[in-house]
Amino acid sequence: MRHIAVIGSGPAGYYTAEACQKQFGDAVRIDVIDKLPVPYGLIRFGVAPDHQSIKAVAKRYEAVALSDTVRFVGNVMVGRDVSIAELAQLYDAVVLATGAPADRPLDIPGATLGGVFGSAAFVGWYNGHPEFAQLNPAFDAPGAVIIGNGNVALDVTRILAKTPDELAGSDIVAHALAGLAESKIKRITILGRRGPHQIAMTPKELGELGHLARARPMTDPKDFPPDADDALLEPGVRKSVTHLRDFSAPQDGPTPITIEFDFFAMPVALEGDGRVERIIVERTQLDAQLRAVGTGERYAIPCGLVVSCVGYQTPPIEGVPYEHGRGRFANSDGRILPGLYCVGWARRGPSGTIGTNRPDGYLIADHIAADIGTGSRKAGRAGLDALLAERHVDIVTFRDWLTIEAAEVARARAGAPREKFVSVADMIAARG
Ligand code: NAP
């Protein structure tokens, strides 16, 4: 028998469990361990609440979770309840699928002012992540600034711009819906430190901005290179740039909310008395390596809310080699140390779609098969249970999760949208 522990129950974790199941059949026991009492990581807490079709992939993970060889071990935090060294004693392979749940810091003066949030916190807030449920952002100023030209910037912009009716059918949490319903935001500025040809936004997500009920995206034709240059772009980026060019067409009339793309605009400082009142931006131009270089021209954009969507990083774990510059575990093709592996964003850094994690999981399953043979008679889940019982850790199982999920659906029956539990205590209480 082989014993495998997967730390993290998001896409990378469940694709790894699925791949190990396929690799070893009945001759494996896989524990998927998560610090929260609920599974699915990024699917529940990161994917935009109005992108329910993306969240539907959780059904695939459920099939894996309900099989005899795999179990979910929720409410167990590695580093607090059990250490990596202890897991290495108990399991033949330990796989870190911990994602990249921390914001890359926005390293400019004023970044700690009130009203300035990283996207991990802000997205976690509207998705009901227990660590961010108390964020309480204010939407009382007309200006909001989103920093970054990736898909997370688009998600945040869309959620700020949508009407409550447009959010019906989503699983945005009640506190976020209530806060956004009072929003006084009239102008959302999306800052890109480089130009339209350098965006990291994908066409489908960008196209959605063009179909909002009360908000219109706007670009400035002066920011674009000649049309013919688009032919040089990779097809996906070319489609995205076509959307951006369409957004520069004259508007029919005033709209309640404008979404302004401000390209070649690098944030240099945030200013305000306790809370952000303006962002100072420097015009840029691109150097020969297509890096943004400041021109010295600066201007201020008034705003009461800033969300920095400049990418994520994997939090380090004591004793695990870490690549600080790239914000991920130091690894060679997923191998960290003998018996210790990483997958998904913890291995590659935060890039790609949910599906990108699938081949990652299969790669690690191949490595594990090559490295551990038929296993080495370790204690596996029985050993973990004994250790956690000794420490009075209250494990939440996948069956418990199904009860929690049913309770969430029941709460929502009274009215849309679906209401999630936003505290660990409430989640645990809901399992009955
Ligand atoms: P991302 O795609 O890496 O984009 C980060 C953006 O931040 C880039 O435009 C980058 O500009 C900018 N940036 C970085 N540092 C900056 C700084 N100091 N000042 C100003 N701008 C800065 O990251 P993401 O948006 O967080 O997305 C993470 C991954 O999740 C991506 O693969 C994304 O496609 C995926 N995702 C997908 C979906 C979806 O499919 N619907 C939704 C959300 C996220 P430079 O290019 O100049 O570095």
Note the pLDDT of residue 410.
87
What spacing in Å lies between the alpha carbon of 201 and ligand 1's midpoint?
A: 8
Q: pLDDT tens across 372-416, in order?
A: 988 888 999 999 999 999 999 999 999 999 999 999 988 877 665
Q: Which residues contact 84 (CB under 8 A, 6 or more apart)?
A: 78, 94, 317, 318, 319, 320, 340
The pTM for the full model equals 0.96
What percent of the chain is modeled with pLDDT above 70? Answer: 99
Q: Which atom number of ligand 1 is nearest to the Cα of residue 106?
A: 18
Q: What is the band of 158 on the pLDDT scale with cuts at 50, 70, 90?
A: very high
Protein residue closest via CA to atom 31 of ligand 1: 351
What spacing in Å lies between the alpha carbon of 279 and ligand 1's midpoint?
A: 20
Q: Which atom number of ligand 1 is nearest to the Cα of residue 51?
A: 41
- Pocket probe for ligand 1: among 152, 170, 239, the residue whose CB has the most ligand atoms within 8 Å is 152
What spacing in Å lies between the alpha carbon of 425 and ligand 1's midpoint?
A: 33
What spacing in Å lies between the alpha carbon of 151 and ligand 1's midpoint?
A: 6
Q: Which atom number of ligand 1 is nearest to the Cα of residue 351?
A: 32
- Per-chain mean pLDDT for the chain: 95
What spacing in Å lies between the alpha carbon of 303 and ligand 1's midpoint?
A: 21
What spacing in Å lies between the alpha carbon of 265 and ligand 1's midpoint?
A: 15
Q: pLDDT tens across 322-343, in order?
A: 999 899 999 999 999 999 999 9
- Pocket probe for ligand 1: among 106, 149, 289, the residue whose CB has the most ligand atoms within 8 Å is 149
Q: What is the band of 169 on the pLDDT scale with cuts at 50, 70, 90?
A: confident
Q: Which residues contact 67 (CB under 8 A, 6 or more apart)?
A: 21
Once rounded to an integer, what is the mean pLDDT over residues 154-170?
Answer: 95
Protein residue closest via CA to atom 1 of ligand 1: 150
Distance CA 303, CA 145 (A): 7
- Pocket probe for ligand 1: among 147, 190, 209, 310, the residue whose CB has the most ligand atoms within 8 Å is 310
- Pocket probe for ligand 1: among 193, 262, 306, the residue whose CB has the most ligand atoms within 8 Å is 193
Protein residue closest via CA to atom 18 of ligand 1: 106
Protein residue closest via CA to atom 38 of ligand 1: 151
Once rounded to an integer, what is the mean pLDDT over residues 421-430?
Answer: 95
Note the pLDDT of residue 414.
65
What percent of the chain is modeled with pLDDT above 90? Answer: 92
Lowest mean pLDDT among 15-24, 167-176, 220-229: 167-176
Note the pLDDT of residue 416.
58
Q: Ligand 1 pocket by C-beta < 6 Å: which residues?
A: 147-153, 155, 193-194, 198, 200, 202, 205, 267, 292, 309-312, 350-353
What spacing in Å lies between the alpha carbon of 193 and ligand 1's midpoint?
A: 12
pLDDT score of 46 more than 70: yes
Q: pLDDT tens across 62-83, in order?
A: 999 999 999 999 999 999 999 9
Note the pLDDT of residue 412.
76
Note the pLDDT of residue 250.
86
Lowest mean pLDDT among 94-103, 225-234, 251-260, 293-302: 251-260
What spacing in Å lies between the alpha carbon of 154 and ligand 1's midpoint?
A: 10
What spacing in Å lies between the alpha carbon of 308 and ligand 1's midpoint?
A: 10
What spacing in Å lies between the alpha carbon of 139 and ligand 1's midpoint?
A: 23
Protein residue closest via CA to atom 15 of ligand 1: 310
Q: Which atom number of ligand 1 is nearest to the Cα of residue 152?
A: 25
What spacing in Å lies between the alpha carbon of 67 and ligand 1's midpoint?
A: 36
